[in-house]
Amino acid sequence: MILYAQTTGTHTTNSASFAPMPSLSLTLPEGVKETALIILNVPNPYATGNSNPGGTFAISVGGVVQTPVASFTYNETAPSSFGRIPTTL
């Protein structure tokens, strides 16, 4: 069975900790000894700032952030322009 969730529009945060993406959640059916493959694809994220801006993404199960996480940062401390850096977890 394939399940998916997606969100649209622009989402912003200045949070120093993980913040939920609005309208992005997935309810998995309960199963015994079942395995789920969950992929988070954030195709167009970007960050602005003057201290190696970037972003970190994680998947939460039952309110508990799972490992691993995915992240990106710019190479420059204060980039002259901010590009999009696709990120997949």
Note the pLDDT of residue 39. Answer: 93
Note the pLDDT of residue 83. Answer: 87
Global pTM? 0.82
- For residue 48, the enclosing domain spans 36-68
Q: How large is the average pLDDT for residues 70-88? A: 90
For residue 50, being part of any structural domain is answered with yes
Tell me how many domains the chain contains.
1
| pLDDT tens, residue by residue, 28-68 | 888 788 888 899 999 989 888 888 899 999 999 888 999 88
Sequence-distant (≥ 6) Cβ neighbours of residue 78 within 8 angstroms: 49, 50, 51
